Chains A and B, each alone.
Chain A
């Protein structure tokens, strides 16, 4: 089994008629993704990319029984689009849109609280189950099915990490990109939990980034686990580009200045295998099998 979705998952696309959405959704359909319909307010009743378009998520869910949605809506409409999907009972939301205002994300978290909906993103290439389903904008040609779970906060480094997994002769069970915004939906802890439960995932590659404490939170969770799947962890960043911010509040929130070396140490102390460069991932993965 993959995590979060598979080839049978019925998928809606919110904002399906946009230029970028059309380009990527038609590729997802060719990939085999079970895209059942689209939603664009005002365009209900039409057919786009060979699937019916509805005015609302509610109508789309009623007509198709879909429980998953990929969002390509403009940044300032993400909040209302999420609210609409949650109300329509969508189980999994993958939000590709970039540039969502931070205060909108605070409200979105309020909306998600107590609902059955999981949000991936925003500002993410999405979710990919190689050879089964492409919920987002992943380049198809670099991903291969295998038994390594891949979870990442970056977009492009996700692809680079997938190439590294391929180099070791392995492939990916599921690829989840969390998005590199300040506030995101699903975090590393939730993703790692799912990969630990998944019997088609033997090991995990995790790509983190400097800024915030998401990686440290996942280290705390991992350290407390009895049955650990191996995690190979790379953190993008250096202490030169991580610029000083105006004011002290940022340093207080993270309980002191976050440095790359400090972050790597926390990850490594939790039992993860931390690599300094991306191109070391394939070597570590190969050595795990031996």
Chain B
């Protein structure tokens, strides 16, 4: 689960990290009022709150939003109001959320913080070890995107054990970043605080891009991104309230609420229902551009949920044919067959439907469907299912 910058900064602050004074606003008027509260004089920084990075170099779709990106500096309260009015309700496209972009429904207003130096620092899980790993780079001359593309040797990687970073770790990283020795202590506190935040919130990633060092040596998180492990959110009441599903497309959201995952593709007209993320990818590969969407019901064994899932696909207007490919292990084919019948009864099924069952309770499932008298096409294998659905859709056109 991705959370917004202002939410991430609340977590960081609670763990002893310096962050600029700031408040979130949902309207331009609110933005102006909170700007005045934060600081009597400008400049202020206005930051679009969307679940994406690279906002500064992004651009808005709508004309009314003007030419600026998703992060803007406002010198006067009028600037705050005008820029907030431009950004709110507009769609921001960045290199990380293209091509669709995200609607900006809230902005974060911060006091402008003057810093002498900046650097990139994140913690993420390197699954090869596996270990929480510190990643850091000096961003004085190049930004992190350029460093990743051209000079990865400028990034230091330090895997940690679960006890967290030692002073020696911090010193090594500080030297690599060419920090002034007077900042070493505050740097260690910074790294230590990030690790604490990472562990306490069960994060998969905490990224500060950039962190800034003030003249007195204090280190500030100027930006913050935190991704939380979805599977652990239930253990953290405070964090679960950070969930913002505004930017998740409705079908994807509906699938997620039933415990499934759903993906859409451009141009295709076949809906695929499978059990397994690998199987979904393999089907899309074999359909060669004809896939409109895939629904992965994972280990679903609840008849009602399965019916809800099939309905998501059956009611997608782009879908002209459905292929259901289930290889039952944990999933029982007979429960899927029941779900198909429930959906057909509820929404009607007036398009070709190809079904391939293999594995647990396959014969029971085939019997159920045979007795239902639904106009189904049964397939023997994955190749067969794909060939049959393509042919049926072509013939029905």
Contact = CB atoms under 8 A, between A and B. Distances in A.
A62 interface: no
Interface in B62-121: 95-98, 120
Contacts, number: 191
Interface centre among A183, A236, A255 (most CB of B within 10 A): A236
B108 to A, nearest CB: 16
Contacts of B53: 246-248
A248 B232 contact: no
B304 to A, nearest CB: 17
SS of B interface (majority): mixed
A153 B281 CA distance: 13
B263 interface: yes
B159 to A, nearest CB: 10
A180 interface: yes
A160 B282 contact: yes
A3 interface: no
Contacts of A279: 286, 382-383
A266 B72 CA distance: 42
B124 A253 contact: yes
Interface in A156-193: 156-157, 159-160, 163, 180, 182-183
A248 to B, nearest CB: 5
B277 A209 contact: yes
A251 interface: yes
A139 interface: yes
Contacts of B127: 182-183, 212-214, 253
B330 interface: yes
A103 B202 contact: yes
Nearest to B144: A248
B229 interface: yes
A102 interface: yes
Interface in A233-290: 234, 236-238, 240-241, 244-253, 255-256, 276-279
Given A156-B279, A210-B281, A250 B205 contact: yes
Contacts of B275: 155-156
A109 interface: yes
Contact of B202 (A101, A138, A156, A249): A101
Contacts of B276: 154-157
Given A75-B231, A248-B53, A253-B124, A278 B282 contact: yes
A49 B248 CA distance: 45
Interface string A208-244: 0110111001000000000000000010111011001
Given A139-B327, A247-B225, 12 more contacts: A105-B130, A106-B132, A125-B329, A154-B278, A159-B358, A238-B285, A247-B207, A248-B145, A252-B122, A277-B285, A278-B282, A278-B286
Interface of A: 20, 24, 75, 96, 98-107, 109-110, 125, 136-139, 141-142, 152-157, 159-160, 163, 180, 182-183, 207, 209-210, 212-214, 217, 234, 236-238, 240-241, 244-253, 255-256, 276-279
16 contacts: A101-B231, A102-B229, A103-B199, A106-B125, A107-B162, A155-B275, A182-B204, A214-B128, A236-B282, A237-B285, A245-B227, A247-B96, A248-B120, A248-B122, A249-B123, A278-B286
